Structure formats: structure tokens, C-alpha cells
Amino acid sequence: MSDEMQKEVQRVLDAIASLGPDPEDPAERFKRLSVLLKDWPDLHKAVRAMRQDVANELHDGGMSYDAMGKLIGVTHSRARHIAKGITHPSRQKKEQTEDGGGPGS
């Protein structure tokens, strides 16, 4: 990861961390953290979709799932799941079996 990219990620992490410490007004801190948690599922979904798009861009450009996995410290299978948007492979497989079909049925 480039220094600039690492700094960008660190800014996001610092912004989240800054929501916690506020000894002067715990009620305000409580409200800020509640707003963040209320919006967190949508934010998480958006970041996951962005990562999936980039994974597909890399794969379409010729990068193997094995190489993608090595970039982020996961197996090639997990990298493939990321690119396909599979978040819980065993749960999704079970749901497909219970529904009587596979993907798209």
C-alpha cells in the first residue's frame, strides 16, 4: 500500500477514533456514536461493494485470485468470494439448498 493510501485509511480510522473521547459531554458522545452505528450497515455495504468492484477490475485485468489473496493476506478462495460478493459462503450454500436451487433460481 502506498504511503498516500495508508494515510487515507489512517485518516478514516482516526476520524472514527475521535468520536469516542469526549470527557466533557458523554451525552454528546453517546449521540455521535449512535448516529455512526445507525448508518454503519449502509457504510459497510458501500465499502464492501467498492472492494468487490476493485477485485473484479483486478481479475478482469488478469490478476489471479491467488495474487489478490496474497495482497490482503487471505486465501485465493476468499479473494474469489470477495470478487463474487459472497460474504458467508456456507450460509449462502445452505440457503440455496433449502430453497431448492442454486444461484439465480
Q: What is the model's pTM?
A: 0.71
pLDDT tens track for 68-88: 999 999 999 999 999 999 987
Would you call 78 exposed, middle or buried from its count of C-beta atoms within 10 A (0-12, 13-18, 19+)?
middle
The C-alpha cell at 32 is: 455521535
Average pLDDT value for the chain = 85
> Do 56 and 79 form a contact (C-beta atoms < 8 A)?
no
| Domain spans in the chain, listed from the N-terminal domain onward | 9-90
> Do 55 and 82 form a contact (C-beta atoms < 8 A)?
yes
pLDDT tens track for 1-59: 688 888 999 998 998 888 877 667 888 888 888 998 999 999 999 999 999 999 999 99
Position 102 scores a pLDDT of: 55
Using CA atoms, how far apart are residues 14 and 67, in angstroms rounded to an integer? Answer: 30
Judged against a pLDDT cut of 80, whether residue 95 lies above it is answered with: no
Position 55 scores a pLDDT of: 97
